[in-house]
Every structure is written in C-alpha cells, then in structure tokens.
Structure 1
Amino acid sequence: MTHGTAGQATAGAGRPAGRPRSEKAEKAIIEATLDLIAEGMGVAELSIEAIASRAGVGKTTIYRRWSNKEDLVADSLATLKAPLPAVGGVSVRDDLITLLAAMQNEAGQERTRCLMNIAMSDADRYPRLMGRFVKVAVEPRRKAVRDVVQRGVDNGELRPDTDVEVALATLSGAMLWYTKWGNGELTDDLAERIVDQVLSGIAPL
C-alpha cells in the first residue's frame, strides 16, 4: 500500500500541483478565443468571461493555463500557423521556395487573414500580445529563412558578402507585400519568382 502511494507521488511529480492539463478544455478555450475574434471582437472587448462562456468552461480553468488575456490571445493566434515545412537541405533555392510557399499558403487562409488583421490593429495597445506572438509564431519562421540563407553563405551557394538580415527581410517582405497588398496577384509560382529574383542579385557570379 505504501509502495503504491509512493509510486503515485512519483508519477505526478512532473506535473505542477493544482494545474491539471486537459487537452480537450485547452482546445475549446483556444477555439472560443479565435471564434470571438473572427466574429469581430477586438482584443480590448474580449474578456475571459466571454471566452469561458463560449468554451463551456469556468474562468478558473482558463487561469490555470493562462495568467492573462494577452497570453491566451497570443497562443491562440499562434495555433493558426501551420508547422514549418521540412526543408531538404539540397539547395538554398529549393528550401527558400518551400518556406515562402508555406508563408503564402498561410496568408491565403481567410480565417487567418481576418484574425491577424484584427490582432495587428491592437498591436500598439497590447505590445505584450504582439511580443509573444512574434516570439512563438513569427520568429521561428524568420529563423528558418535566416538559417537557409546563412547556410548558403557558408557553403558558397551565396556570395560571402551577403547581408543575411537584408536577404531575410527582402524575401519575407516581398511575400508579405504580395499577400497583404498585392491585389490578388497570388500566382502558384509566386514563391519561385521571389526567390529567383532575390538570388539573381546575391548568387555568386
């Protein structure tokens, strides 16, 4: 009997006391948050009470996982970002096309676009929210592109004097331009066109 009690204590040692993790409840909370924002509720109007009511959970269930509204919104928005695609590592060109095509695909999803527009409009009022969102969703994508460009510099596929940060900004900025302000010019070969245009300026002669 004593052994069983000790075993149970050991099994639960890795889980913080008072913070049970329920994947079902967590998913319901995130979906409720996204639904309310997608319906036009700004971050300022969004409340833990409204989220709890929509998700069918108590407010304490939300506060066990998120200490404040901004962290919850940031994590919810981050779920809209699909996992980064695996890159083959064979060529810089192929890997950059893969990553930019994923960005284009994400931006083309209506729900994602709507939610991001609303969230970005509250960026000045909620810098913590945007800071967390950049950390969990944007920066991993920047790093993926940055790593591919740096690999190209290191292995000679790109010029040794390539400014990696400018190349990163040029590639991602061009895709952002087309997906946000490009007036529907989102062709299937857009990622390839952007990458080839940039590489023609930074590839070795």
Structure 2
Amino acid sequence: MTIQDAGAARPAGRPRSEKAEKAILEATLDLIGEGMGISELSIEAIAARAGVGKTTIYRRWSNKEDLVVDALATLKAPVPPLAGESVRDDLVTLLDQMRDESGHVRTKCVMNIALSESDRYPHLFEKFRKIAIEPRRAAMRQVLERGMASGELRSTLEIELAMAILTGTMVWFTKWGDTSDRGPELAEGIVDQVLAGIAP
C-alpha cells in the first residue's frame, strides 16, 4: 500500500496522534492519582492537564467513562508468558506480576481511588474487568485446568475457589500486609501454601 493509499483509507478528520493520546491518558491517571474521584473528573480538567483541546479528546473517546477505562487499562501489563511446564511455576509467574504492579505507588493509588467508585460506575468497571482483569483470570484458569488434567492438582478442585484463594491472598498482602522485605518469594510462598492443600 502506498502512502497515498493509506491516506485515502484513513477516516475523515485529523490523523490520530500517539503523543496526544498518551498525554490524555497520563493526564487522566495523574488527576485520579492526585485524589480526584471519577465523579469529579471532567473532560475540561483532563484537556487542560494534557495541553489539548476538548475536541481532541472527544475525537478519540465518546465519553469520560471510556477514557477512564482505557487509562486504567494502561496500568495493567499484558499477561506474562507462561512456560507451561509446571502448574507451580506458572502460578508463581502470575502472582508475582500482581505483586510487582502493586509496588508502583502511582498504580496502587490510582486503582484504590478508582475501584472505590465501582458501585457508582458499574458499566465502567465491567468494561475494565473485561479488558484488564478477565485475561489474567482466564490465564490462571487454564493453568489450573491443565494441572487437573495432568494430575498435578486434585480432579475435584473447585477452580473459582482456588483462584480466589490465590489472588485474594496476594491482594491482601499488597494492600494491608508488610511486603517491604518480601520480593518474588512472596508469590512462591503463597503458591506453595495453596498447592499443599489442593494437590492430589
């Protein structure tokens, strides 16, 4: 495809600017991280912080909720690659990513503030769950199902309950526990304790 062809295929309006999009997403996260709730957040405030016009934002997002979802989703790294050689190693990889993300002060602050308003914005957080949370849950579910099939885990294992135990324990530690002296071994400890109870 030639440059001219690419230009002809582009929808009407100015070309999308990755720099502008990044500035808008960062401005949204900055404002939330500074304590501004989603209900207080406005397109005007985001535009002013990002140094763009409101039309630049509306050209990319039809409303504030969609923008906030995309901004929150950038705080979540892609699902890490899993070796697929042992249930233990793959679970440690998934939990350690949770621990690592919680170590970023800005990420932790933004997520705490944003999720505290989930009852007021159920549509927003349902979209966020599908974009950022469900892919991780699907990966963990596949690891546990593989373990049941291979005999590494009990064939009668309640997968949803096991997932809640694994992730819930990590969430507890990263929110309220003392993780200052616990690095990757925290994930290993959680997985080993849980596996002791769900192994054959």
Q: TM-score, normalising length from structure 2?
A: 0.92
Residue 156 (structure 1) shift: 1.8
Residues 160 and 15 of structure 1, relative CA distance in 2, 3 Å threshold = farther
Residues 170 and 15 of structure 1, relative CA distance in 2, 3 Å threshold = farther
Structure 2 distance, partners of 1:142, 1:131, is 14
Q: Which amino acid in the other structure matches residue 119 of structure 2?
A: D
SS at structure 2 position matched to 1:169: helix
Are 1:201 and 2:197 an aligned pair?
yes
Q: TM-score, normalising length from structure 1?
A: 0.90
Q: Specify the alignment match of 2:139 in structure 1.
A: 144
Q: Which amino acid in the other structure matches residue 179 of structure 1?
A: T
Residue 12 (structure 1) shift: 4.3
Q: Which amino acid in the other structure matches residue 21 of structure 2?
A: E
Are 1:177 and 2:169 an aligned pair?
no
SS at structure 1 position matched to 2:59: helix
Residue 17 (structure 1) shift: 3.1
Residue 58 (structure 1) shift: 1.1
Of residues 35, 39, 58, the one that matches 2:53 is: 58
Are 1:129 and 2:124 an aligned pair?
yes
Most deviating of 11-20 and 194-203:
11-20
Q: Specify the alignment match of 2:25 in structure 1.
A: 30
Residue 186 (structure 1) shift: 6.0
Structure 2 distance, partners of 1:193, 1:186, is 13
Structure 1 distance, partners of 2:113, 2:9, is 38
Residue 185 (structure 1) shift: 6.5
Residue 203 (structure 1) shift: 1.1
Structure 1 distance, partners of 2:178, 2:132, is 25
Matched-pair contact (CA < 8 Å) for 1:29–1:52: yes
Q: Specify the alignment match of 1:48 in structure 2.
A: 43
Q: Specify the alignment match of 2:84 in structure 1.
A: 89
Q: Specify the alignment match of 1:107 in structure 2.
A: 102
Residues 121 and 19 of structure 1, relative CA distance in 2, 3 Å threshold = farther
Residue 76 (structure 1) shift: 0.4
Taking only the aligned residue pairs, the percentage that are identical comes to: 67
Residues 98 and 123 of structure 1, relative CA distance in 2, 3 Å threshold = same
Q: Specify the alignment match of 2:66 in structure 1.
A: 71
Residue 26 (structure 1) shift: 0.4
Please report the RMSD computed on the Cα atoms of aligned residues, expressed in angstroms: 1.8
Matched-pair contact (CA < 8 Å) for 1:32–1:55: yes
**Structure 2 unaligned blocks of 5 or more:** none
SS at structure 2 position matched to 1:166: helix
Residue 79 (structure 1) shift: 0.5
**Structure 1 unaligned blocks of 5 or more:** none
Q: Which amino acid in the other structure matches residue 43 of structure 1?
A: I
Most deviating of 93-102 and 116-125:
116-125
Q: Which amino acid in the other structure matches residue 106 of structure 2?
A: R
Matched-pair contact (CA < 8 Å) for 1:146–1:164: yes
Q: How many residues are matched?
A: 198
Residues 186 and 143 of structure 1, relative CA distance in 2, 3 Å threshold = farther
Structure 1 distance, partners of 2:129, 2:135, is 9
